Amino acid sequence: MKLVFQKDVLMSGINIVSKAIPSKTTMNILECILIDASASEIKLTGNDMELGIETKIEGSIAERGSIALEAKIFSDIIRKLPDSDAEVTITSDERLNTTIQCDSALFKIQGRDPQEFSYLPFIEKDQYICLSQFSLKEAIRQTIFSIAPNDSNKMMGGELIEIKDNVLKIVSLDGHRISIRNILLKYNYENRKVIIPGKTLSEISKILTGDNEKEILIYFSKNHVLFEFDNTTVVSRLIEGEYFKIDHMLSNDYKTHIKINKRSFMDNIDRAMIMIRDNDRKPIILKIEDNNVNMRIRSSFGSMDADVMAQKTGEDIMIAFNPKFLLDALRVIDDEDVDIYMMNPKSPCFIKDDGGNYIYLILPVNFIAED
């Protein structure tokens, strides 16, 4: 095999497929990137058996063939080569001896048998949806933060993708909060519910350009989901099981509603968090009276009080939250003002828009009222 690439093109492809290379594994072949030039195009593939990524890259094929190279050393070599537009030549022989040459730099490494590599599973392309890369990238950004950070509950480590007619709903939760985004699709599709691992969505979000003019196709099978965009294919296992029934957690009932400037609200929460350390779980207390929101926090390091104007309807209320949870939701909302709905100090609050594009549910925390 003999292939010639521009360094920046090759590096871009390596960066894409490296997202499917496991950090720890007992199977050495999974630590490799497959270079496949056995046909008329060049494909790079990474596959950890749960998530697989394949991307086509531009290059010249002098001799067809394929080789599996250890991802870390391959990536490090290409990254440290001079000049982004330099020409890189990769050659391998029948014994899998591989040379990588760029200008005066020459590296020799041992490849692995490409036949040992696990190719991406075949997915029938008959059941799919189509949306813009921008819409999917934004929806992931606006929900991914509220999946559970560990593997204690697989369901909480994934996101529900629910399709009803021409609406795509994405849901994540971690036991303390729920994030929901609704996307209007161009066409009606067959109703479907799947649970996609958070890692898959996070890595896809990093690859997507976010271009509103470019589309992404998502195909479904019984056990897998396939994302196809630009010259890249991503295949992931689905999480098996039934997702949490969230509908009964959502309510339109409230006794207090405020409309508040998002930036002012966020800035004061951010300042309040100066008083908190990682092991100090002090809540931020909101005292809502008339058209004023008093925000206060007390910790072993000190205290902060601030007042923010808001438009209030309904009853006065005093309620407390984990300030990080409020900030996480507010940061991904693009509206200038946000609407917050509350029932009582023990019931969840809802941050949502009139159009039903997003809903963020946050559970309050117990607190001791201080004057």
Residues 86-103: pLDDT tens digits? Answer: 999 999 999 999 999 998
- Over residues 65-81, the pLDDT tens digits come to 999 999 999 999 999 99
Question: Residue 132 pLDDT > 80, yes or no?
Answer: yes
User: What letter represents residue 363's amino acid?
Assistant: L
Average pLDDT (143-168) is: 91
Predicted confidence band of residue 85 (pLDDT cuts 50, 70, 90) = confident
| Residue 54 three-state SS | strand
User: What letter represents residue 298's amino acid?
Assistant: R
Torsion of CA 248, 249, 253, 255, to 10 degrees: 150
Measured CA to CA, the distance from residue 77 to residue 35 in angstroms comes to 15
Fold of 250-362: DNA Polymerase III; Chain A, domain 2 (3.10.150)
Helix (H) or strand (E) holding 367: none
CA distances from 254 to 114, 143, 231, 292, 302 (A): 61, 24, 48, 18, 33
Predicted confidence band of residue 84 (pLDDT cuts 50, 70, 90) = confident
The pLDDT value recorded for residue 370 is 64
Place of tokens 């271009």: 211
* Domain limits, the chain: 2-116, 128-245, 250-362
- Assign domain 128-245 to its CATH superfamily: DNA Polymerase III, subunit A, domain 2 (3.10.150.10)
Tell me, yes or no, if the two domains 2-116 and 250-362 fold the same way. yes
Average pLDDT (50-56) is: 97
pTM: 0.92
Q: In the predicted model, what is the mean pLDDT of the chain?
A: 94
The pLDDT value recorded for residue 371 is 54
Gyration radius from the chain CA atoms: 25
Average pLDDT (27-39) is: 95
Bridge partners of residue 350, in order along the sequence: 341, 361
- Assign domain 2-116 to its CATH superfamily: DNA Polymerase III, subunit A, domain 2 (3.10.150.10)
Predicted confidence band of residue 151 (pLDDT cuts 50, 70, 90) = low
The pLDDT value recorded for residue 337 is 98
The pLDDT value recorded for residue 83 is 82
Cβ 215 vs Cβ 286: under 8 Å:
no
The pLDDT value recorded for residue 297 is 92
Predicted confidence band of residue 299 (pLDDT cuts 50, 70, 90) = confident
Beta pairing class for 60-63 and 358-362: unpaired
Report CA torsion sign: 332, 334, 338, 341. negative
Measured CA to CA, the distance from residue 205 to residue 200 in angstroms comes to 9
Measured CA to CA, the distance from residue 216 to residue 178 in angstroms comes to 26
